[in-house]
């Protein structure tokens, strides 16, 4: 997996693992970050979650990216595919396994 060599972005180990698991490229995630369809508040403190729709009309999904903007550096925390379409303004749909890995409780 080749990540863009840049001082503007920091990729966490968790984000790299999820990119591999969900077969998401760094270029795809950069496109989601630069041109999001929707932006929500992330579940972790001081984070944002952005998404883009993808897939087909018959099998739609969304690509989500959670990041934290710091002083001159954007920290990519996690990325995932969500099967289906979410409602705007609702709770960010983060899979339970990602919440457990990030050390957060699940509401389920």
pLDDT, tens digit (0-9, with 9 covering 90-100), for 10-60? 999 999 999 999 999 999 999 999 999 999 888 788 899 999 999 999 999
Look up tokens 């890995």; give the residue.
101
The arithmetic mean of pLDDT across residues 82-95, rounded, is: 80
Using a pLDDT cut of 70, give the percent of the chain over it. Answer: 92
What's the pTM? Answer: 0.80
Q: Which CATH architecture has domain 9-101?
A: Roll (3.10)
Show the tokens assigned to 86: 């979410």
H or E element at residue 75: strand 74-83
Identify whether the C-beta of residue 67 lies closer than 8 Å to the C-beta of residue 3. Answer: no
């Amino acid at each position: 997996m080749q990540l863009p060599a840049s001082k503007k972005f920091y990729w966490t180990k968790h984000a790299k693992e999820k990119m591999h698991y969900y077969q998401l490229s760094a270029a795809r995630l950069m496109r989601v970050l630069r041109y999001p369809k929707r932006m929500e508040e992330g579940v972790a403190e001081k984070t944002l979650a952005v998404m883009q729709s993808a897939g087909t009309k018959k099998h739609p999904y969304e690509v989500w990216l959670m990041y934290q903007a710091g002083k001159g550096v954007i920290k990519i925390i996690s990325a995932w595919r969500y099967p289906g379409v979410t409602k705007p303004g609702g709770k960010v749909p983060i899979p339970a396994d990602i919440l457990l890995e990030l050390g957060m409780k699940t509401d389920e």
